[in-house]
Structure 1
Amino acid sequence: MIVRIVEIEVYPEEMTAYLAAATEIGGISVREEPGVVCIFPMQILQDNNQIRILEIYRSAAAYRQHLETDHFLKYKSGTQNMVKSLKLIETRALDPKAMPEIFKKLNDKNLTK
């Protein structure tokens, strides 16, 4: 499994367009790619130009396959001039067996109350 945090700084004038692109790529990837467990973009509240993306892939092969999809290539080419800086932070899950329980809770109706 690959678990990564992506740190992105977006040019302020590009933020609206970048947020739309990041939201689109996350949704399409999770829906259409079995090897993509999670692509979850977030905006830092204290600095709106800062984006963090939690990425989880089932395997290195799934990640490589993701990089070749039309929707990823569209995202990458469409946002490259919007991004001031990008840093990929590789991580290691301390308890990968807990992940199914975490995602299962998302279906809990009490979570949204």
Structure 2
Amino acid sequence: MKKINGIPNILKVVLIALLVMTLNNAIAQNKKRVVRIARIEIDTSQIDNYKAALKDIGEASLRTEPGVLMLYSVADKIKTNHITVMEIYADSTAYETHRQTAHFKKYKETIKNMVRSLELVDVDPIFTGIKPDILK
């Protein structure tokens, strides 16, 4: 058996094939993900109540739903009643499951008179990344 750098050629071919299959699987799974941005305008008199409800739904979703991969909410610094939420779900089934949970239904009921406008935008990620030490 011919060897390159002490490793049999056949083993290298198998390792490369496994690496390619793993990368292809990761790419295919990413295409199934649901990535959505919600642009929300809140009644200015209700902003603190809305933020509390948003925090509650986010914590419950991440804690109890394996298909909810990421939730990130921010408020505009100038128009503080403008909220943007980025959501990433494992797939469309995870998104639909999320919409049927008791905590999501409670959130929708709680905020129904707080929201002045809501725009949901499905997006395709171009680049994602996070530094490994960000949580330190």
Distance in 2, matches of 1:80 and 1:39, equals: 20
Residue 40 of structure 2: which of 8, 28, 32 is its match? Answer: 8
Match of 1:74 in 2: 106
* Root mean square deviation of aligned Cα: 1.6
Q: Once the 2 structures are TM-superposed, how far is the Cα of residue 112 of structure 1 from its aligned partner?
A: 5.7
Q: Extract structure 1 runs of 4+ deviating beyond 3 A.
A: none
Which structure: larger Rg? 2
The runs of 5 or more residues in structure 1 that have no matched partner are: none
Distance in 1, matches of 2:74 and 2:58, equals: 11
Alignment of 1:52-67 (within 5 A): 52-67=84-99
Percent identity over the alignment? Answer: 38
Distance in 2, matches of 1:32 and 1:112, equals: 21
Distance in 1, matches of 2:44 and 2:114, equals: 9
The runs of 5 or more residues in structure 2 that have no matched partner are: 1-32
Q: Deviations over 1:32-68 (max 9, x none)?
A: 1000001221111111010000100000000000000
Q: Which amino acid aligns with 1:94?
A: I
Distance in 1, matches of 2:79 and 2:85, equals: 15
Distance in 1, matches of 2:135 and 2:58, equals: 21
Matched, 1:92 2:115: no
Comparing both chains, which one has the higher relative contact order based on Cα–Cα distances under 8 Å and sequence gaps of 6 or more?
1
Describe the SS at the equivalent of 1:8.
strand
Match of 1:31 in 2: 63
**Count of residue pairs the alignment pairs up:** 104
Q: Once the 2 structures are TM-superposed, how far is the Cα of residue 31 of structure 1 from its aligned partner?
A: 1.1
Matched, 1:45 2:77: yes
Q: Which amino acid aligns with 1:90?
A: D
Distance in 1, matches of 2:126 and 2:77, equals: 27
Normalising by structure 2, we get a TM-score of: 0.72
